[in-house]
């Protein structure tokens, strides 16, 4: 069960994946599977990490694979991570692609227009 960390909804015409809580080695794999099962190909995907309180390298690995996979299938995507916080710190420390990071949902949606 990954419901406590991940939920799905829509934001405008984009699919919205909201992650919350601590994402680490223990749950990253399962969360990744849940997301891949739910997302459709094509269109737009927003992944909201603003309420993620911890993100480790396993979490980064998950996001890295996920974003790479989506882009390869022509799905445009953005990660919403807020200005500060644990997720932002981890992504920055491992030099995650800045071009897919945004600070809030509205802006992310606008960038995908």
Partner 1 sequence: MSDSGGPDVTQELRLPWDDDPDDLYEHAPCGYLTTLPDGTIVKVNQTFLVWTGYTRAELVGHRRFRDLLGSGGQIYHETHYAPLLRMQDEVHEMAFEVVCADNTTLPTLVNSVLSRGPAKEPRAIRTTVFNATERRSYENELLHARRRAEESERRVQVLQEIVADLAAAPTEAEVAEAVVRAPEPAFGAASSSIYLVDVERDLIVAVSSTDPTTGNWDDMPRSSPRAVARVADRGDLHVVGSVAEAREHFPDLVDNMRKSGRNTVVLLPLTTGGSDERVGTETLGVLAFSFTGERKLGDNELRVVRLLGQQAGQALDRARLYDDARRREERTTFLGETTRTLDELHRLLPRARRLVDRVVPEIADWALLQLSIGGGIHEESGGPAPDLGLLEPAEQRAIRASVPVFPAAGDPLGCVVLPLTARGRVLGTLSMRMAPDRRGAAAERAFLIDLADRAGMALENARLYEQERETARTLQRSLLAADLPSGDSRFAVETHYQAAGQDLEVGGDWFDAFMINKDRLAIAVGDVVGRGIDAATTMGQLRSAIRALAGDGVGPARLLEALDRFVDRVETARMATVAYAEVDLVTGELVYACAGHLPPLFQAPVGIPEFLLQARSAPLGSRAGDLRRTEQRQPLPAGSRLLLYTDGLIERRTRPIDKGFEVLAREFARRRDAPLPGLTAALADLLVGRDHADDVCLLCLSLGSEERIERSLGADRMQIAQLRSELRGWLVAHGIEADCRDAVLLACSEAVANAIEHGYRDDPFGMIDVVGTVTADAVEVRVTDRGTWRGAVTDVARGRGLQLIRESMDQVLFDRTDGTTVIMRRSRGDL
Compose the 29-68 pattern: x for residues touching partner 1 by CB under 8 A, - for all others: -------------------------x-xxx-xx-------
DSSP string, 6-17: EEEEEETTEEEE
Q: How far is the CB of 32 from partner 1 (least distance, A)?
A: 13
Which alpha helices (DSSP H) does 16-56 contain, by range?
Answer: 28-38
In contact, 38 and 71? CB cutoff 8 Å: no
Binding site for partner 1 (CB under 8 A): 22, 24-26, 54, 56-58, 60-61, 85-86, 89-90, 93-94
């Amino acid at each position: 069960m990954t419901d406590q960390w991940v939920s799905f909804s829509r934001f405008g015409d984009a699919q919205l994946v909201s992650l919350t809580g601590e994402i680490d080695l223990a749950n990253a794999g399962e969360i990744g599977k849940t997301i891949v099962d739910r997302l459709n190909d094509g269109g737009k995907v927003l992944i909201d990490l603003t309420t993620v309180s911890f993100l480790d390298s396993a979490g980064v690995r998950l996001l890295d694979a996920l974003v790479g996979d989506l882009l390869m299938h022509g799905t445009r995507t953005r990660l919403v991570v807020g200005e500060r916080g644990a997720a932002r710190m981890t992504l920055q420390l491992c030099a995650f692609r800045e071009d897919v990071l945004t600070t809030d949902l509205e802006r992310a949606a606008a960038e995908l227009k």
